[in-house]
Amino acid sequence: MSSPENPILSISRVEAVYNGAIAALHGVHLSVAKGDIVALLGSNGAGKTTLLRAVSNLLPAERGAVTAGRILFDGKDVSRTNPSHLVRQGLVQVLEGRHCFRSLTVEENLFTGALGRPSSRAGVQAELERVYALFPRLAEKRRTRSGLTSGGEQQMTAIGRGLMSRPKLFVLDEPSMGLAPLIVDEIFSALKRLNRDEGLSILVAEQNSAVALKYADRATVLENGKSVLEGSAADLRQRADIKTYYLGGAPLPPQHFPKETAA
């Protein structure tokens, strides 16, 4: 695997288990260069969520643990930092399932992303306007309770709240899940704009390989907890076999199995 010289995130040889017994990751490698969008692809149960939990040091909360390897965010070992500190340092994650406080309005939800971060009122207001510029439909729904908004609007709210925490590395777990293709495109093009205009680094786990490869710079494919393929999104888009072999299709014939990626 090609390793960028100064990655914002570097994952090497990571192994992880749940309940001290169930192995979920077996030597995973992945790097995110500053300013890149990296897609983490894989079918159900491939280990994407587990890897993202490991990145934000959230596995202990799930009775899980990283048992080998290491994960460096901006050069620092994430296992030594608690999850809320990681957020303050700029490692911000939007968890799977578009978590919003359903009884709070869209705007109140967005405000919660700015809590715990020293910022002036004007600074928070400017952040809010930035989120509304990115997702104009949130501005229209700012006074609506999140529980009454659509699935797409809830996902935008969850993403907006993450942005209010001022990420340096923005990590998203399946933002497309359960959403209509047009909304998925709207969300991914907003992320791409942030990446292009502000240099935001992004790691996004997706089962929807078509949309992820359309917007990402690079991608890593996980299968059964192993990183089995890594490359530029442009190259992987050409590979018609990816979907068939790695993302819920037929098992891969041995002669086509690429060499496991190395650090």
Interacting residues toward ligand ATP by CB under 6 A: 18, 22, 24, 42, 44-50, 62, 207
Separation of alpha carbons 169 and 54, rounded Å: 14
What minimum distance in Å lies between the beta carbon of 45 and ligand ATP?
A: 4
Of residues 50 and 109, the one with the C-beta less far from ligand ATP: 50
What minimum distance in Å lies between the beta carbon of 110 and ligand ATP?
A: 26
What minimum distance in Å lies between the beta carbon of 26 and ligand ATP?
A: 11
* Burial of residue 251 (number of CB atoms within 10 Å: 0-12, 13-18, 19+): exposed
What minimum distance in Å lies between the beta carbon of 64 and ligand ATP?
A: 6
Separation of alpha carbons 27 and 25, rounded Å: 6
Of residues 42 and 113, the one with the C-beta less far from ligand ATP: 42
Separation of alpha carbons 183 and 137, rounded Å: 11
Separation of alpha carbons 130 and 164, rounded Å: 9
Structure-token pair, residue 152: 């797409």
What minimum distance in Å lies between the beta carbon of 231 and ligand ATP?
A: 19
| Inter-residue contact 39 to 233 (CB < 8 Å) | yes
Pairing of strands 76-77, 64-73: antiparallel
Of residues 67 and 238, the one with the C-beta less far from ligand ATP: 67
Separation of alpha carbons 52 and 88, rounded Å: 17
Of residues 36 and 173, the one with the C-beta less far from ligand ATP: 173
Pairing of strands 37-41, 64-73: unpaired
What minimum distance in Å lies between the beta carbon of 206 and ligand ATP?
A: 9
Separation of alpha carbons 41 and 193, rounded Å: 21
Of residues 44 and 120, the one with the C-beta less far from ligand ATP: 44
Of residues 164 and 247, the one with the C-beta less far from ligand ATP: 247
